[in-house]
Amino acid sequence: MRGHTGVKSMQRAELAQRTGCNLETVRYYEKVGLLPEPPRTPGGYRSYDATHERRIRFILRARELGFSLHEVRELLHLVDERDQPCTDVRVIAAAHLDDIRAKIADLRRMERVLKDVVARCADGTQPECPLIETLFRDRAMT
């Protein structure tokens, strides 16, 4: 069966399998408008093609890189418009990079606190648990 772009069409399950995502993920991306609704066959089945597959791969890769659905939507809008300069994409990516760096700083802080607590636990035979005490402590003190 040939799809609307002249290439072999596929049903949702095959699209999910080819992209390595869950069938429900494909449904969800359609529902929230990240994936355009495909045309239907005369029998009423959705008919996906390579364009849908490429778009899902784009979404999945962006999500792997930590982009939010809102950011993915913005990136896809820029892809769809094609006349948008790379500068707009750079702005989104730079903001995301700043968010990642902030998360890394937070993770390093958490690592320091937990490393200290684990070291104070020693062999775990103390009557007062340093981790429990740390969790009860006011945040401003950590």
Mean pLDDT of the chain: 87
Is the pTM higher than 0.85? The answer reads no
Least confident of 47-51, 86-90, 93-97, 127-131: 127-131
Q: Where are the domains of the chain?
A: 1-65, 85-142
Instruction: Compute φ and ψ for 139, nearest 5 degrees.
Output: -55, -35
* Residue 48 DSSP class: B
Domain 1-65 has CATH 1.10.1660.10: yes
Q: What is the pLDDT of residues 14-52, one digit of tens each?
A: 999 999 999 999 999 999 999 999 999 899 999 999 999
- Res. 142: pLDDT tops 90: no
Cα separation of 79 and 34, whole Å? 12
